[in-house]
Amino acid sequence: MSRKVLIVVHQEKSTPGRVGEFLTARGFELDRRCPNLGDPLPTDLSGYAASIVFGGPMSANDDHLPGIRAELEWIEKHALPSGRPLLGICLGGQQIARVLGARVGNHRDGLVEIGYYEVTPTESGGDFLACPTVFYQWHTETFEIPHDAVHLAHNENFAGQAFRYNGCTYAIEFHPEMTREMVDSWCRSEGGSRKLGLPGAQPHEAHLEGYARFATETDRWLGRFLDERLLVAETE
pTM: 0.96
CATH topology of domain 4-232: Rossmann fold (3.40.50)
94 close to 142: Cβ distance less than 8 angstroms: yes
pLDDT tens digit sequence for 21-31: 999 999 999 99
* Res 232: pLDDT: 86
Rounded Cα–Cα distance for residues 22 and 222 (Å): 8
* Res 2: pLDDT: 83
- pLDDT tens digit at each of 236 positions of the chain: 689 999 999 999 999 999 999 999 999 999 999 999 999 999 999 999 999 999 999 999 999 999 999 999 999 999 999 999 999 999 999 999 999 999 999 999 999 999 999 999 999 999 999 999 999 999 999 999 999 999 999 999 999 999 999 999 999 999 999 999 999 999 999 999 999 999 999 999 999 999 999 999 999 999 999 999 999 865 44
* Res 235: pLDDT: 45
* Res 236: pLDDT: 43
* Res 234: pLDDT: 52
